[in-house]
Amino acid sequence: MEIARGVHLVPGTASGNVCLVTEPDIVLFDTGLPGDGPAILKHLAHLGVAPGELRSICLTHGHAGHAGSAAWLRRQSAARILASAPEADRAADPRACGALRTLWHLLLRTTRRPVEACMVDRILQAGDEMAGFIAVETPGHTDGHLAYFRASDGVLIAGDAVRVAGRDLLAPPFWDTASEVTARISLAKLADLPIRLLIPGHGPPYRAPGAALRQAGGPPGFMLETMRRRAQHQARRRR
Ligand SMILES: [Zn+2]
């Protein structure tokens, strides 16, 4: 289903949203769970894209619901895998995770979707551009999480930086988030972007998310404000 110019939501995946961008280049954003690869290649074929034409797969983060079919697709297509440095480490060694994720991986194995390590070919930095989308650092859910924003028409591929719950947008759940405060700062940062269509990692796309994102990033309490100032100060020092 084409949900924005050249942006297709791949049907038939088990859980996470997979976006195929077909112009100006063919780039896949996230890969769903282990076992979702064939459904993705089927949709590529439906759009007239041969596996050899898929050259880049960008990951929002290394969790199994997003990087799960990356290794399989890397073998079946011409794709090279792109992710931030921390998420490249996570994808390369999915066993290095907490008890909750270990349980989740065991469960996936029982459903014949064993989690497979994936090598990342290129490390992405904030500001890198792929098919018109710019990588935006959105740490919190994981420490190297990236979202991808296309400024020309305000499309955001948000990964797990945000959850859709009806008309509400929510921060990722605390029990599955590396830093809740950092996650909320990332949401406040996203709320400053002119987003017209937000594509979350799970669930339906969300139009005009500005106010809901601001709500999800708030309330701007003392701690959040302190953390935001500290992050700005550190960013200035890095420049
Ligand atoms: Zn995740």
Domains of the chain: 2-238 (3.60.15.10)
User: What's the confidence (pLDDT) of residue 52?
Assistant: 96
Q: How does pLDDT run across 200-210, given as a tens digit for each residue?
A: 999 999 999 99
Name the residue among 192, 174, 188, 173 with its Cα closest to residue 220.
188
User: What's the confidence (pLDDT) of residue 134?
Assistant: 98
Q: How does pLDDT run across 143-168, given as a tens digit for each residue?
A: 999 999 999 999 999 999 999 999 99
**Average model confidence (pLDDT) across the chain:** 92
**Cis bond upstream, residue 200 (ω within 30):** no
Is the pLDDT reported for residue 221 higher than 70? no
What confidence category does residue 225 fall into, taking pLDDT thresholds of 50, 70 and 90? Answer: low
User: What's the confidence (pLDDT) of residue 75?
Assistant: 96
pLDDT above 90 covers what percent of the chain? 73
pLDDT, average across residues 45-52: 96
- Taken as a whole, the chain contains a residue count of 239
CA of 183 to the centre of ligand 1 (A): 12
Query: What is this structure's pTM?
Result: 0.89
CA of 52 to the centre of ligand 1 (A): 28
Q: What is the 3-state secondary structure (H, E, C) of 6-64?
A: CEEECCCCCCCCCEEECCCCCEEECCCCCCCHHHHHHHHHHCCCCHHHCCEEECCCCCH
CA of 21 to the centre of ligand 1 (A): 21
CA of 160 to the centre of ligand 1 (A): 5
* CA end-to-end span of the chain: 41
C-alpha–C-alpha distance, residues 217 and 31, integer Å: 27
Task: Please name the helix (run of DSSP H) or strand (run of DSSP E) that holds residue 147, with its range, or none.
Answer: strand 146-150
Q: Which segment of 133-142, 164-173, 211-220 scores lowest on mean pLDDT? A: 211-220
What confidence category does residue 220 fall into, taking pLDDT thresholds of 50, 70 and 90? Answer: very low
pLDDT, average across residues 204-225: 80
CA of 48 to the centre of ligand 1 (A): 30
CA of 20 to the centre of ligand 1 (A): 19
CA of 141 to the centre of ligand 1 (A): 7
**Cα 107 vs. chain centroid, distance in angstroms?**
22
CA of 65 to the centre of ligand 1 (A): 7
CA of 124 to the centre of ligand 1 (A): 18
